[in-house]
């Protein structure tokens, strides 16, 4: 059973998706929550605080730095890092689907909040890029990936493949995000391996 605060966040997120932040009032949020004004204000001082909570709940928490599996050298290999990033993306889309059947709302919402959270997203991308590049270097040193590959380029390609694959999936609506990742990620990772 969800706690009151989570229920309010989910309700607000749905309204922000349907109406946009600017077209959603705090009165609308209270009414849609089926709670008293006092109950909503007990958890959130204003619409902006609720918007921030929805951003954190539906986006930021899914892309925290991965807990790397213990590998020689204490870092995760490339496959593990990419699988963790894909799993975070899949959890995000699944969570959004519990609030609205329109999973394309992810992209509408992300672009609407971009000015507000650009620095957070930029930092998360930089963290993911650094984590992927470190995993590439580790795999190169272990002889598992071609040494001619530039780790930062591979990192950008991996990030583009994840986000681009997810976007195409949502736009076309033919496959699940998980199916797209299972179809594309392993073959890409195999293409990076050292050819003996």
Domain 4-57, CATH:
1.10.10.60
For residues 136 and 151, what is the distance between their CA atoms, to the nearest angstrom? 6
DSSP state, residue 136: H
Going from N- to C-terminal start, the domains of the chain cover 4-57, 70-191
- How does pLDDT run across 5-35, given as a tens digit for each residue? 999 999 998 898 888 888 999 999 999 999 9
Which pLDDT value is given to residue 185? 94
Q: Which residue, among 25, 89, 90, has the nearest Cα to 51 in the 3D structure? A: 25
Which pLDDT value is given to residue 68? 44
Q: What DSSP string runs through 20-63?
A: -STT--HHHHHHHHTS-HHHHHHH-SSHHHHHHHHHHHHTGGGG
| Over residues 91-98, mean pLDDT | 84
Q: Name the maximum alpha-carbon separation found in the chain.
A: 67
pTM: 0.80
- How does pLDDT run across 148-167, given as a tens digit for each residue? 999 999 999 999 999 999 88
Query: Percent of the chain beyond pLDDT 70?
Result: 91
User: Two tokens at 177?
Assistant: 């995000």
Which pLDDT value is given to residue 128? 92
User: Two tokens at 166?
Assistant: 């997810």
For the cut 70, the answer to whether the pLDDT of residue 196 exceeds it is no
Q: Contact at 8 Å (CB) between 100 and 14? A: yes
Q: Contact at 8 Å (CB) between 89 and 162? A: yes
Mean pLDDT of the chain: 86
- How does pLDDT run across 27-86, given as a tens digit for each residue? 999 999 999 999 999 999 999 999 999 988 887 777 665 554 434 455 679 999 999 999
Which pLDDT value is given to residue 1? 62
């Amino acid at each position: 059973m969800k706690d009151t605060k989570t229920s309010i966040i989910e309700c607000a997120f749905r309204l922000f998706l349907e109406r946009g932040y600017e077209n959603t009032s705090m009165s609308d949020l209270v009414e849609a929550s089926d709670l008293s004004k006092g109950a909503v204000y007990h958890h959130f001082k204003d619409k902006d605080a609720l918007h921030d909570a929805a951003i954190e709940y539906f986006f930021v928490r899914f892309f925290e730095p991965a807990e790397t599996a213990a590998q020689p050298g204490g870092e995760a290999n490339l496959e593990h890092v990419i699988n963790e990033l894909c799993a975070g993306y899949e959890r995000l889309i699944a969570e959004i689907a519990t609030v609205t059947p329109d999973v394309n709302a992810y992209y509408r919402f992300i672009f609407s909040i971009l000015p507000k959270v650009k620095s957070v997203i930029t930092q998360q991308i930089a963290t993911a890029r650094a984590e992927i590049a470190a995993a590439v270097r580790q795999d190169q040193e272990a002889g598992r990936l071609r040494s001619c590959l530039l780790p930062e380029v591979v990192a950008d390609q991996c990030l583009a493949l994840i986000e681009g694959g997810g976007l195409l999936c949502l736009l076309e609506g033919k496959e699940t995000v998980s199916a797209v990742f299972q179809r594309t990620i392993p073959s890409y990772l195999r293409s990076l391996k050292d050819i003996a």
